[in-house]
Homo-oligomer: A and B are copies of this chain.
Amino acid sequence: MTTHGIDPAALAAALRDFRSAVGAANVFDGEEDRLAYSDHYSPDETRHMPGAAVAPSSVEEVQAIVRIANRHKVPLWPISRGKNFGYGGAAPVLKGSVVLDLSRMKRIEVDRENGTVLVEPGVGFFDLYDHLQKNGIPLWLSVPGNSWGSVAGNALDRGVGYTSYGDHAARICGLEVVLPEGGLVRTGMGAMQGSSTWQLYRNGYGPGWDTMFCQSNFGIVTKLGLWLMPEPETVLGLDFEFDKPDDLGWAIDTIMPLRREGVIQQSPSMGNWLRSAAVMTTREQWTKDKGPLDEKVVTAIRKQFNIGWWSVQVRFFGPAEITEASMKVLRRAFDKKPVLAIKEARWKRGDPPEGSPSSGVPVSFPLANANWHGGRGGHTGYSPVLPPRGDLAMDQFRRTYDLYAKFGMDYHASFAMGDRSLTNVNQILFDRDDPEMMRRVDGFFRALVADAKAKGYGEYRTHIEYMDLVAQTYDYGGHALLRLNERVKDALDPNGIVAPGKSGIWPARYREKKA
Contacts and interface: CB of A to CB of B under 8 A. Distances in A.
A193 interface: yes
Interface stretch (A16-24, A101-109, A201-209): A201-209
Contact of A459 (B169, B205, B317): B205
Nearest to A457: B196
Nearest to A477: B184
Given A179-B484, A457-B197, A503 B206 contact: yes
Nearest to A474: B191
B186 A477 contact: yes
Contacts of A476: 185-186, 190-193, 195
Given A207-B214, A485-B206, A201 B460 contact: yes
A455 B183 CA distance: 26
Given A191-B480, A196-B455, A456-B197, A214 B209 contact: no
A229 to B, nearest CB: 8
Most buried by B among A389, A484, A504: A484
Given A215-B206, A419-B227, A200 B326 contact: no
Contacts of A480: 183-186, 191
A466 to B, nearest CB: 11
6 contacts: A116-B420, A183-B483, A206-B482, A209-B212, A209-B481, A491-B491
Interface of A: 113-116, 158, 164, 169, 173, 179, 183-187, 189-197, 199-201, 203-216, 218, 227, 230, 232, 257, 260-263, 265, 317-319, 321-322, 324-326, 328-329, 385-389, 418-421, 423, 453, 455-462, 470-471, 473-477, 480-485, 487-488, 490-492, 502-505
Given A191-B476, A192-B476, A199-B420, 15 more contacts: A179-B484, A185-B476, A191-B475, A191-B480, A192-B458, A193-B475, A197-B387, A205-B459, A206-B482, A212-B212, A230-B257, A262-B317, A263-B322, A321-B329, A324-B325
Going nearest first, the 3 A-B pairs with the smallest beta carbon separation are: A208-B211, A491-B491, A206-B503
